[in-house]
Structure 1
């Protein structure tokens, strides 16, 4: 199965995706990590652009073809990136589940975005203004929506496991 996480920076997406991947012993693929590795390689002289996503799709496809469950972690703010993840699942003939992570408490979301430390060397996190100004396409009701404002990660992951079982995931 391909589990596709998305959400604005600071929403709790990485914390939730990592915890779910650990619980399932799934392969965790994070676009931020890939993009920062590309920057550090000093191969690209400009913006990373879609390169990080394209690499992530390939890594996910390799692991799905080996029969592994993949948890993909990226902002996925535009429809084209979400559709590309779904195409990966289709090519591998595996189910895909989209999970949009939100933080409905705007003050808490801002606090997280402004105070969270970076866990990737050299990664510059977006400012709050950059976060709220980001282009963000509606998910069209097709995703499981997880609100991290008032619930802990363990509770959220337990709920996600139940929902993912309904979508065909076994052995968690």
Structure 2
């Protein structure tokens, strides 16, 4: 059996990470988990304020699948070193490999346009506005990460860059 891989996506809202993560899931057959979906599901079903619960529940789901030999994709802002390390620990706990992927849009005007015009894919989720995206706490990476800047590129170009860097 091949060693499964956990593809750990990170980046600010509207950078293009979910689009690329879903395309990678389709190409590789990896299981896809979007933290926004998990967190909104917890809000809708359990009626409580969600903080770290979405991540912690997703760690368990992904760990179970990695243990079965199924590669997985985690799609989240993943803005702090703590969650980045926890994702890596999930993979390592079952002998899986992991790849950190940071998606950004370096063109401020293009990023703002994306934030202001995107459609919500998660039922009942309230998307952040531009001011909320700009003020979001997001730490610089201190470990190895594949960086994809989607600014000035279409989806196909960005995905081609990602698959080339991943060699998939």
**Do Structure 1 and Structure 2 share a fold, with TM-score over 0.5?**
yes
Q: What's the counterpart of residue 65 of structure 2?
A: 63
TM-score, length-normalised on structure 1? 0.91
SS of aligned partner of 1:97: strand
For the 8 Å contact 2:16–2:104, the answer to whether it is kept is yes
Candidates 32, 37, 42, aligned match of 1:38: 42
For 2:53 and 2:38, locate their aligned partners in 1 and report how far apart those are by CA, in whole Å.
Answer: 9
Q: What's the counterpart of residue 150 of structure 1?
A: 152
Query: 1:93 Cα shift?
Result: 0.8
Q: What's the counterpart of residue 169 of structure 1?
A: none
Partner deviation per Cα, 1:117-154 (whole Å, 9 max, x = no partner): 10111000011111110111111252100011122222
For 1:137 and 1:44, locate their aligned partners in 2 and report how far apart those are by CA, in whole Å.
Answer: 30
Q: What's the counterpart of residue 93 of structure 1?
A: 95
For the 8 Å contact 2:148–2:161, the answer to whether it is kept is no
Q: What's the counterpart of residue 138 of structure 1?
A: 140
Query: 1:94 Cα shift?
Result: 1.2
Candidates 107, 111, 114, aligned match of 1:112: 114
Please, what is the CA RMSD of the aligned residues?
Answer: 1.2
How many equivalent pairs are there?
A: 164
SS of aligned partner of 1:4: strand
